[in-house]
Amino acid sequence: MTVRDAAALLMERAGLSDTSPLIPQLKGAGVTWHATKPLEKAGITTFGALIARTDEQLLELAAFGERRRAMVEAALRRLAGEEQ
């Protein structure tokens, strides 16, 4: 599953919109600032901004590698109620 897919699933299940804040949801799911800071610096602070990007585009962000991508995806899946 991609980050985009996990975010879209959570949006559908939780009734979130494109303008819903992303960072508080991630932090509430235990994602550290090490993973959220690169998103914030790139202006990815809403679900709409996140689903507008592919995993490849996210991996191009400074200080956002595969481990942090996987952490964000796992948190979104947990929030959506998906088993891992």
Q: What pLDDT shows up at residue 49?
A: 98
Backbone angles phi, psi at 73, to 5 degrees: -60, -45
The span from the CA of 25 to the CA of 28, in Å, is: 5
Output the pLDDT for position 82.
87
> Nearest-CA neighbor of 20 among 65, 79, 81?
79
Indicate the domain borders of the chain.
Answer: 3-79
Q: pLDDT tens-digit profile of 20-56?
A: 999 999 999 999 999 999 999 999 999 999 999 999 9
> Considering the entire predicted model, what is its pTM?
0.94
What is residue 83's predicted lDDT score, i.e. its pLDDT?
66
Mean of the per-residue pLDDT values of the chain: 96
Give me the numbers of helices (H) and strands (E) for the chain, helices first please: 6, 0
Mean pLDDT, to the nearest integer, of 14-23? 97
